[in-house]
Each structure stands twice: as C-alpha cells, then as structure tokens.
Amino acid sequence: MAEENPEIAEATRAMLDSDVASASLGIEVGHARDGRAIARMRITERMVNGHGIAHGGYVFLLADTAFACACNSHGPVTVAAGADITFVASARLGDELVATAEERTCYGRNGIYDVTVHRHGADGREVIAEFRGRSRTIGSI
C-alpha cells in the first residue's frame, strides 16, 4: 500500500506496511508528511448499507486512516485518543472518496487533526464528512 513513495514519511510507511484493515479496503495513501496526509478509497458493493449508500463506518475508517498517517508522519508512534465525525452528504457505490488530513495543533504529547472527506468526481469536490481526531504520542508499541 505504501510503496517507496517519497511523499510518505518513513514512520508512516512503516505503520501502513502493517495496516491490514486499510489495505483490505483498498485505501491508498498518496501523501503523508509534516502533519498532513491524503488517502483515497472507492466505495464497493460490500461497503453499501441497506439504504443503498456507503455505510458510515467505512467513511469513518477512511478518515481515521488519513488522520493516523498525518499524526504518525512526525515519527514517534501516535494513536487516537478520540475522534468524532459529522456526515454531510451520502456516498454511493462507485464513488471515489478522498480524505485530506491536516494537523491543527500539537501540545505536549497531544494533537488535534481535522480531516475532510470529499467525493472526487467530474463535478469537482463535494464534502461527504468532516472528522476531528485527537492524538496521543505513546512512543512505541
């Protein structure tokens, strides 16, 4: 998933190499450096719920992966201390979703990151969800 892309920090690449959950969903990370990350995922038939829209858990997982990549791009092992998401619009089968994570602030071993998930298409970008993650640096696992 995180081949030798110079846009991905070494610490993030090491984390992604062991991230079976994100890899199994086809999540691709194209950038993860300096507290920022971009991840993308296509909504497949297995991700659609009984209403014919993407299950919110998959949207959250994409945002959480971008968040993890951004907060681990600095080097020390960093985990989520909490997160919440606001769903703005529905994603549908075949949609390509792009999650863009950005560090807002770091204080001590804590950080706050915002992630916007949008639908990427010919019509441009439509916001699907806004995610805020709180991180905690723990050193090593």
How distant is the alpha carbon of residue 90 from its chain centre? 17
* Model pLDDT, residue 9: 86
Per the structure, the count of domains in the chain is: 1
Q: What pLDDT score does 63 carry? A: 98
Establish if 134 belongs to a structural domain.
Answer: yes
Per DSSP, the three-state class of 105 is: strand
Q: What's the pLDDT score for residue 1?
A: 45
Q: Which domain holds residue 109?
A: 10-139
pLDDT tens readout for residues 105-134: 999 999 999 999 999 866 668 999 999 999
In a domain, 127, yes or no: yes
Q: Residue 55: inside a domain, yes or no?
A: yes
Has residue 102 been placed in a domain? yes
In this predicted model, what pLDDT tens digit does every residue of 97-107 receive, in sequence order? 999 999 999 99
Strand partners, 139: 77
Q: So what's the pLDDT on residue 75?
A: 86
Predicted pLDDT at 130? 98
Instruction: Identify the DSSP state of 47.
Output: G
pLDDT given at position 2: 44
CA dihedral 96, 97, 102, 107 (to 10 degrees): -140
Domain assignment present for 3: no
The answer to whether position 1 is within a domain reads: no
Within-domain flag for 101 = yes
Regions of the chain with pLDDT less than 70: 1-4, 121-124, 140-141
Any domain includes 92: yes
**CATH number of the domain bearing residue 51:** 3.10.129.10
